[in-house]
């Protein structure tokens, strides 16, 4: 079984993923967590020191590296039907980050088209693997998200302003084209509101949703 836990930064994905892992392991299941793939790029320093010049090349390099790592993982576990794989974000979500205003800054329409063509070609290859059984998007109001991020006080998140997080939020929850991709490349898609729930209650709701459909 493959489960994707998705949503904007600060919504509680990683905590929910770890809670799910603990739950299924207590049930005697073997669980593999596929966290957000960290990628090294030789363009990393150039990307931040001269954003407008190296933006496109760095983004394309990130995309290729994440794609290769994703394929490697999928091939490794494709015949292990007894394993539960839980994704903390999925490769197909890369499109959302490539669309952000900050990332697209200074990028021409021609380069945008080139990126989309490469991405779509990769999606065709991803479609050869079995789709995730569940694509679960956690959501909360924007103000709640910002409060959660302020409480956890991560230095890397402070580097971006409120406008950046609003842009990311919009592309996760309001842009239909992105939701359509999530639906297309999964067997079951659902959004779960977490505004007034503890993380334990969020986990319980995810488990209930999955249990009723397997």
Q: What is the CATH number of the domain that holds 7?
A: 3.40.50.300
**Residue 55 predicted with pLDDT over 80:** no
pLDDT reported for residue 49: 58
pLDDT reported for residue 46: 57
Using CA atoms, how far residue 11 sits from 41, 197, 210, in Å, is 27, 11, 20
Residues 6+ apart with CB under 8 A from 145: 8, 9, 10, 11, 165, 169
Give CA 107 to chain center in angstroms: 23
pLDDT band for 213, please (50, 70, 90 cuts). confident
Give CA 130 to chain center in angstroms: 18
Task: Give the chain's domain count.
Answer: 1
Q: Are 148 and 169 in contact (CB under 8 A)?
A: no
Which residue ranges make up the annotated binding site? 7-15, 148-152
Prediction pTM value: 0.87
Which one is catalytic: 45, 82, 88, 195?
88
**Residue 198 predicted with pLDDT over 70:** yes
Average pLDDT, the chain: 88
**Residue 85 predicted with pLDDT over 90:** yes
pLDDT reported for residue 189: 96
Asked if 143 is an active-site residue, the reply is no
pLDDT band for 47, please (50, 70, 90 cuts). low
Range of the domain at 71: 2-212
pLDDT band for 43, please (50, 70, 90 cuts). low
Which residue ranges make up the annotated binding site for ATP? 7-15, 148-152
Sign (positive/negative) of CA torsion 69, 75, 80, 81?
positive
Least confident of 38-52, 73-87, 105-119, 144-158: 38-52
pLDDT band for 63, please (50, 70, 90 cuts). confident
**Residue 40 predicted with pLDDT over 80:** no
Least confident of 63-67, 146-150, 179-183, 207-211: 63-67
């Amino acid at each position: 079984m493959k489960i994707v836990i998705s949503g904007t930064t600060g919504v509680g994905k990683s905590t929910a993923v770890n809670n799910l892992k603990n739950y299924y392991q207590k049930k005697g299941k073997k669980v593999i967590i596929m966290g957000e793939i960290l990628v090294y790029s030789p363009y990393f320093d150039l990307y931040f020191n001269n954003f407008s010049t190296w933006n496109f090349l760095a983004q394309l390099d990130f995309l290729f590296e994440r794609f290769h790592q994703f394929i490697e993982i999928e091939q490794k576990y494709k015949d292990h039907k007894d394993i539960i794989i839980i994704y903390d974000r999925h490769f197909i979500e890369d499109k959302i980050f490539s669309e952000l205003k900050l990332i697209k800054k200074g990028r021409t329409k021609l380069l945008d088209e080139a990126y989309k063509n490469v991405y779509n070609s990769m999606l065709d290859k991803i479609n050869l693997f079995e789709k995730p059984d569940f694509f679960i998007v956690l959501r909360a109001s924007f103000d709640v998200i910002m409060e959660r991020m302020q409480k956890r006080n991560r230095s890397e998140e402070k580097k971006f302003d409120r406008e950046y997080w609003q842009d990311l939020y919009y592309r996760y929850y309001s842009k239909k084209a992105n939701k359509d991709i999530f639906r297309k490349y999964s067997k079951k898609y659902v959004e779960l509101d977490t505004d007034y729930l503890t993380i334990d209650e969020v986990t319980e709701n995810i488990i209930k949703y999955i249990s009723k459909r397997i």
